[in-house]
């Protein structure tokens, strides 16, 4: 059953969209607040494929999905048109356990995810239109070319507006405010002014910070930069706007908040973006370009390796515009530019990795994104590949940078130069054709491109397969399971597929049969076989040698996978998710290796009791059907490290 079908059935059986006040999800279940629980069809929901059970507790109507709850939730929010609060304490989103790089990737991926379909479509149309022009099938002045170009290029040209909307949702401000901020960056008169050959004056003349000033704001010089197609400035601008909005809401009277808060946000954020955010991006780009130019003078090969390796990173941060400025200066002064061509292998490295992912993935959604991303990548449009496929999975992105570095090094070795500003991807080849026509510089460019796409494909096939579906499933489902099918929420592999294993107690306390836990999802064994412990203190330790595969943002639950394949969930108390993380301290992060007895979570046991929540903590083997037997070998009082479960 597809997630869409499952979501539609769940919505219908909880009484329809109009009966839903809100919906979030926790470790295993969708948690609805309904206007009238009597309208929900409990029996039909329990019989639905993909639904494990239904629980009514704490004023919530809980639909138990299991390991795929995050995937089902995402689809349900879209299908139902709900505002979508995400997981409980979603704003934390496990950020406390993320590295700075992981937070950045999570941020960029979250902002770009809603755009991927339109971005893939636009990239393909843009690429094909360039091909039609290159082959002489269309002229640049024909109506057909102009309209196709508008279709393919509009999203990329007005990208700040589109990103303003998705960033606004990510940072919690009004979407129309986000769109307005993006529109200001693309405003025609400002774009035209930045392209003007005349300027009021030039600041920081003679340094890499040199920049023309075409206008001032309250007497302060505005550094010129073309923000169309840019990424980072609008994201930072919306983030800054969210901070301004927070302050404005505190000081503006309620009676005028509707219009006065947006007024303050726009009046402060737009000038700050033009005066500070944009110039910093410009200077950063110019500085990087100057460094690469110096390296090129020392060694074209080293410069090519560095440009190839980091070009996609430059594009993400928007600092690649500095290289465009250097290219235009070099072409005007010398008739050619030796720098920008070093980056031409990058799109092919991305394309090679994406091609491998098409063969590797078992997920239809991933394939449906990868195929058009591959096509558009051939023509140099790699945004769909970067933001939709390689960057969220990290390893494929890194592999593409390695392949691009090799391609860039080869281009530098052959001394390729660019003589004109032309197309991207395969249509960048004419850029290298100067007075000598097709010379070794052109052949070197084609060799570098071919090496990048082939190496990208090989590296991904050899080293990146695991990250294609498994890593994505862990990110989206937040569990030990990697099966992406909604049908499989309650389906387990055949027994005896795992090695025998012994698990030790993760807590000190009193052993309680799982059947006595005051939650039918656990007590019925729906989530798997295991045991429960009523804790005597507030420490949870690892019951196995393996790795952490899920840490819920509120700290009340954790998922582990042993080196032998046992998938274990430890859920501290019942309904403790409602404490919103208060009293819980997570000591480990996702993907971290752990040993038996290693501390995982500290929690305030007395605070849990005082809040009125059940403290019995299930320790459940979620892939119990991989074993013939899951036997409890402990009773009475138990301490951390004592034998607990025997898996055979």
Domain ranges of the chain: 3-90, 100-113+299-491, 158-291, 495-647
- Residue 470: the pLDDT is 54
Higher-pLDDT residue of 21 and 496 is: 21
Residue 563 has pLDDT above 50, yes or no: yes
Q: How far apart are CA 361 and CA 373, in angstroms?
A: 14
Q: In what order do the strands lie in the sheet with 501-504?
A: 501-504, 643-647, 630-632
Helices (H), 273-345: 278-298, 300-317, 321-334
Give the model confidence (pLDDT) of 48-81 as tens digits: 888 887 887 656 788 888 767 777 888 888 888 8
Which of 491, 564, 581 has the alpha carbon at shortest distance from 49? 491
CB 343 within 8 A of CB 308: yes
368-403 b/e with 16+ CB inside 10 Å = b?
A: ebbbbbbbbbbbbbbbbbbbbbbbbbebbbbbbbbb
For the whole model, what pTM was predicted?
0.49
By CB atoms closer than 10 A (0-12, 13-18, 19+), residue 490 is: middle
Confidence of residue 27 (pLDDT cuts 50, 70, 90): low
Return the CATH superfamily for domain 495-647. Answer: Glucose Permease (Domain IIA) (2.70.70.10)
- Residue 71: the pLDDT is 79
How far, CA to CA in Å, does 219 sit from each of 198, 224, 524? 18, 15, 71
Residue 86 has pLDDT above 60, yes or no: no
Higher-pLDDT residue of 145 and 279 is: 145
Share of the chain above pLDDT 90, in %: 33
- Residue 422: the pLDDT is 57
Which of 579, 640, 585 has the alpha carbon at shortest distance from 614? 579
List the end-to-end C-alpha distance of the chain, in Å, as a whole number. Answer: 32
How far, CA to CA in Å, does 116 sit from each of 234, 357, 460, 484? 18, 16, 22, 20
Give the model confidence (pLDDT) of 107-137 as tens digits: 766 676 677 667 767 767 876 787 788 778 9
Is there a shared CATH topology between the 3-90 domain and the 495-647 domain?
no
Residue 87 has pLDDT above 50, yes or no: no
- Residue 99: the pLDDT is 56
Instruction: Kindly state the average pLDDT of the residues 166-186.
Output: 90
Which residue has 């607990």 as its token pair? Answer: 644
- Residue 198: the pLDDT is 81
Confidence of residue 333 (pLDDT cuts 50, 70, 90): low
Average pLDDT value over all residues in the chain? 82
Confidence of residue 423 (pLDDT cuts 50, 70, 90): low
Higher-pLDDT residue of 32 and 112 is: 32
Q: What CATH code is assigned to 3-90?
A: 3.30.1360.60
Instruction: Kindly state the average pLDDT of the residues 174-201.
Output: 88
Catalytic residue among 25, 320, 556, 571: 571
Residue 332 has pLDDT above 70, yes or no: no
CB 64 within 8 A of CB 521: yes
- Residue 506: the pLDDT is 95
186 an active-site residue?
Answer: no
Confidence of residue 105 (pLDDT cuts 50, 70, 90): low
Higher-pLDDT residue of 458 and 173 is: 458
- Residue 153: the pLDDT is 84
Residue 91 has pLDDT above 50, yes or no: no
- Residue 93: the pLDDT is 40
- Residue 182: the pLDDT is 94
CB 465 within 8 A of CB 396: no
Residue 547 has pLDDT above 80, yes or no: yes
Catalytic residue among 26, 186, 401, 431: 26
- Residue 67: the pLDDT is 64
- Residue 321: the pLDDT is 60
Residue 465 has pLDDT above 70, yes or no: yes
- Residue 319: the pLDDT is 64
- Residue 480: the pLDDT is 34
Give the model confidence (pLDDT) of 386-414 as tens digits: 887 888 888 999 999 999 999 999 999 99
Higher-pLDDT residue of 483 and 613 is: 613
Give the model confidence (pLDDT) of 228-273 as tens digits: 877 778 888 999 999 999 899 889 988 888 889 999 999 999 999 9
Higher-pLDDT residue of 591 and 135 is: 591
556 an active-site residue?
Answer: no
Q: How far apart are CA 310 and CA 431, in angstroms?
A: 21
């Amino acid at each position: 059953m597809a997630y869409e079908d499952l979501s539609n059935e769940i919505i219908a059986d909880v009484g329809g969209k109009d009966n839903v006040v809100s919906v979030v999800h926790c470790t295993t279940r969708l948690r609805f607040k309904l206007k009238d629980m009597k309208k929900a069809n409990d029996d039909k929901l329990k019989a639905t494929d993909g639904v494990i059970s239904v629980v009514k507790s704490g004023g919530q109507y809980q639909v138990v999905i299991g390991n795929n709850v995050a995937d089902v939730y995402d689809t349900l929010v879209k299908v139902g048109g709900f505002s979508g609060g995400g997981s409980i304490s979603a704003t934390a989103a496990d950020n406390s356990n993320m590295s700075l790089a992981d937070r950045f990737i999570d941020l960029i991926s979250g902002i770009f995810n809603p755009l991927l379909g339109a971005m893939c479509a636009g990239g393909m149309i843009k690429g094909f239109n360039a091909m039609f022009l290159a082959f002489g099938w269309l002229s640049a002045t024909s109506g057909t070319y102009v309209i196709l170009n508008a279709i393919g290029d509009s999203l990329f040209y007005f990208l700040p507006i589109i990103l303003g909307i998705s960033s606004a949702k990510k940072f919690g401000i009004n979407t129309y405010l986000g769109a307005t901020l993006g529109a200001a960056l693309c405003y025609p008169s400002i774009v035209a002014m930045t392209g003007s050959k005349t300027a009021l004056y030039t600041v920081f003349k003679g340094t890499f910070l040199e920049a023309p000033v075409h206008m001032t704001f309250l007497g302060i010089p505005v550094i010129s930069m073309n923000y169309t197609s840019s990424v980072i400035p609008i994201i930072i601008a919306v983030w800054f706007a969210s901070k301004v909005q927070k302050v404005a809401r505190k000081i503006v009277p309620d009676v005028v908040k509707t219009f006065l808060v947006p007024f303050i946000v726009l009046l402060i954020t737009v000038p700050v973006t033009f005066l500070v955010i944009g110039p910093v991006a410009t200077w950063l780009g110019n500085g990087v370009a100057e460094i690469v130019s110096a390296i090129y003078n020392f060694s074209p090969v080293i410069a090519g390796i560095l440009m190839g390796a980091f070009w996609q990173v430059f594009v993400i941060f928007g600092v690649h515009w500095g290289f465009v400025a250097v290219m235009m200066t070099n072409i005007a002064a010398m008739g050619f530019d030796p720098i920008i061509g070093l980056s031409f292998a990058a799109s092919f490295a991305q394309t090679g990795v994406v091609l491998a992912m098409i063969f590797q993935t078992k997920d239809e959604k991933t394939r449906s994104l990868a195929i058009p991303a591959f096509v558009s990548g051939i023509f140099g449009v790699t945004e769909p590949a970067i933001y939709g496929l390689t960057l969220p999975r990290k390893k494929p992105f890194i592999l593409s940078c390695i392949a691009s570095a090799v391609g860039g090094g080869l281009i530098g070795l052959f001394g390729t130069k660019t003589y004109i500003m032309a197309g991207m991807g395969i249509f960048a080849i004419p850029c290298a054709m100067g007075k000598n026509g097709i010379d070794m510089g052109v052949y070197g460019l084609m060799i570098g491109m071919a090496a990048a796409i082939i190496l990208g494909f090989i590296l991904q096939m050899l080293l990146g397969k695991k990250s294609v579906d498994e890593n994505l499933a862990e990110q989206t489902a937040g569990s030990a399971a990697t099966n992406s099918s909604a049908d499989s929420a309650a389906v387990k592999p055949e027994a005896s597929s795992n090695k025998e294993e012994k698990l030790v107690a993760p807590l000190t306390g009193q052993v309680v049969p799982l059947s006595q836990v005051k939650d039918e999802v656990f007590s019925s064994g729906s989530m798997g076989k295991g045991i429960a412990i009523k804790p005597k203190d507030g420490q949870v330790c690892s019951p196995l040698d393996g790795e952490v595969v899920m840490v819920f943002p509120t700290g009340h639950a954790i998922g582990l996978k042993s080196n032998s394949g046992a998938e274990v969930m430890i859920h501290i108390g019942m309904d403790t998710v409602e404490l919103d993380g208060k009293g819980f301290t997570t000591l480990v992060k996702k993907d971290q290796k752990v040993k038996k007895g290693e501390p995982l979570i500290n929690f305030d046991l007395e605070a849990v009791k005082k809040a009125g929540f059940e403290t019995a903590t299930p320790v459940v083997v979620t892939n119990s059907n991989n074993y013939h037997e899951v036997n409890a070998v402990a009773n009475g009082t138990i301490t951390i490290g004592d034998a607990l479960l025997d898996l055979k």
